[in-house]
Amino acid sequence: MPLVSSKEMVNDAYRNHYAIGAFPAHNLEMIRAITEAADDLNVPIILQSTPATIYYMGMDHMVSMVKTAADGVSVPVSLHLDHGESIRTVHQCVRGGYNSIMIDGSLLPFEENIDLVKQVVSVCHDVDVPVEAELGAIGKADDESQDMEYYTDPSMAEEFVYRTKIDFLAAAFGTAHGQYKKAPRLDFDRVKKISEQTGVPIVMHGASGVPDEDLKRAIGCGVSKVNFSTELKQAFFKELSHFLHENPLQNDPRKVFVTSREAVKSIVKEKLLLLKPIPKAVQ
């Protein structure tokens, strides 16, 4: 089916206490693995890319591949900009065919973050594109931004959402991007307060490596969109390395990536099953 906005799917998840999985569209193999897994389980999906991925693949290639993949499945698929860094990138993505946007001004002072987000909301809401923004600092798994001083303050979050009119809030409450050296300790009371005080769906970044029980508990606290990336990349390259080791003479690109795609598809299914109960008929 054609690409759809992420707004309706994420809001439904928020109202009904489940979450939508958001996964990286790094290349054709990833895109196919993710959309096929969602189709097999009959659940909506978000494919997302950072500005660096768009630069690597090219806007036209990215949008065309995702649209083609979406047309080939019977579940809703949304194309989302992850960690957009500028209003210019937002304009390019909206014109190019993205129907969900994240602007990341989390490293800016509070008022400057608000000003940037308000500009993006003005552009996007005029064409019915939802906006996600970040408050606090969701850093890397090995940097200091995991310290509680960088966590999202619920009262500031309430003001931030009220003034910007964003659709979803990326909150910092203990997760981080990348590979964790040990399981993260999530501040569930904080994310629950943020959800209650803002009234908008909360986005969990850095979900790869979060224990299953913590993920489910976070969903109960208002998390309605969950971003996975590291585990997919690890599965892809682990299987690719294994395949090349076992098949050193293989030189057909059409065969090299098949098992890696299946490895990613398996991980995506595992994550989707955690986020929402799947009807027995499609398990």
Q: How far apart are CA 242 and CA 224, in angstroms?
A: 35
The HSE-up count of residue 101 (CA atoms within 13 Å, CB side) is 33
Is 189 marked active-site? no
Number of CB atoms found within 10 A of residue 258's CB: 12
Q: Identify the three-state secondary structure at position 262.
A: helix
Instruction: At 207, list the tokens.
Output: 């979900």
Say if residues 179 and 140 touch (Cβ distance below 8 Å).
Answer: no
Residue 251 exposed, middle or buried by CB count within 10 Å (0-12, 13-18, 19+): exposed
Q: Residue 217 belongs to what H/E stretch? A: helix 212-220
Q: Residue 203 belongs to what H/E stretch? A: strand 202-204
- Paired residues of 84 in beta bridges: 103
Q: Point out the catalytic residue in the list 39, 82, 104, 167.
A: 82
Q: How far apart are CA 241 and CA 27, in angstroms?
A: 17
Number of CB atoms found within 10 A of residue 271's CB: 21
Q: Catalogue the active-site residues.
A: 82
